[in-house]
Structure 1
Amino acid sequence: MQDVSLRGLEDADLDTLFEFMRDPESVRMAAFTAEDPDDRAAFDAHMKRIRANPDTINMVILGDGRVVGSIASFVMEGDQEITYWVDRAVWGQGVAGRALALLLEIVAVRPMYARVASDNTGSMRVLTRAGFEKIGTEVAYATARKAEIEETILRLS
């Protein structure tokens, strides 16, 4: 992947993002996902709600000009947080790290927090390379795995 950039989320992106978020391996790795990744009505309702929130920045990740993921920053219980989802077809190509760096230039709020399934080593590596530091863990129910798992909490100061 040569060029990674971000742009605002558009209605035309929703079909592509829905397909990315249905990939079984991606869902298992993300762990904290929708109850039913195949439920398009629930996906659309969720996207409508988060897109209407003025405290949320929703962007798509473009790789060589095509949509390869999404990234967002939002406020949760008073804390600025970040989340991203990258098409499994481009895992390991540095896309998530470059997209995260770009979003961190746009969203200057610090501290910023991220949460990741503790066994998601790829995402953990992306976040720590960007300067996020592990500040704790908690056990929470992961819908995608239908079990409680450990989640790592990270902070970028």
Structure 2
Amino acid sequence: MSPHVTLREVIDSDLPDFFRHTSDLESNRMAAFTSKDPTDRASFDAHWARIRASDAVIRTVLADDVVVGHAAVYGPPEEREVTYFIDRAYWGRGIATAALRALLAVVPERPLFAHAAADNAGSVRVLEKCGFTATGTDRGFANARGAEIDELVLTLTG
């Protein structure tokens, strides 16, 4: 049975959960494009202070009222991008797809972009289920892998 997924505004008490989620080494390896040191709490806190003060639309993802991740739209108007991070313990349950669909309903502007490690089939599938299509490729340095890797650029136009 799939959990009930909802989004809400980020509150201070969500941050320890986010830190735990984003400190997981396997999650970081899969996401690839992460902070240089995901276990650096001071850097994490500074990052979240910046994004919470920005014009990013960021939401806490809840599954059956448990904080399981976050999802956001950020960047300049002509380059708005989506991102999400779900606790690895909750992967494979449709939570990322449900959360991204809910976020897209809150942010009607288009186009929106996404970048995903080319070998991150789960994330690419989430984006495709939500209407994104692959529109390009790129290479970038992936902190979590310590190397340049291929990435897909995906776009949502409608």
Q: TM-score interval w.r.t. the shorter chain?
A: over 0.9
Q: C-alpha separation between the residues in 2 aligned to 1:76 and 1:95?
A: 27
Q: Given the superposition, is the C-alpha separation of residues 36 and 77 from structure 1 closer, same or farther in structure 2, using an over 3 Å criterion? A: farther
- The equivalent of 2:5 in structure 1 is 4
Runs of 4+ in 1 over 6 A off after TM superposition: none
For normalisation by structure 1, the TM-score amounts to 0.97
| 1:15 lines up with 2:32 in the alignment | no
For normalisation by structure 2, the TM-score amounts to 0.96
Shift of 1:77: 7.6
RMSD over equivalenced CA pairs, Å: 1.0
Unaligned runs of 5+ residues in structure 2 are none
- The equivalent of 1:118 in structure 2 is 118
What SS class does the counterpart of residue 93 from structure 2 fall into? coil
| 1:49 lines up with 2:50 in the alignment | yes
Q: C-alpha separation between the residues in 1 aligned to 2:77 and 2:56?
A: 13
| 1:150 lines up with 2:150 in the alignment | yes
Alignment of 1:128-147 (within 5 A): 128-147=128-147
- The equivalent of 1:74 in structure 2 is 74
Shift of 1:76: 4.5
Shift of 1:58: 1.1
Number of residue pairs matched by the alignment: 156
Paired-residue identity, %: 48
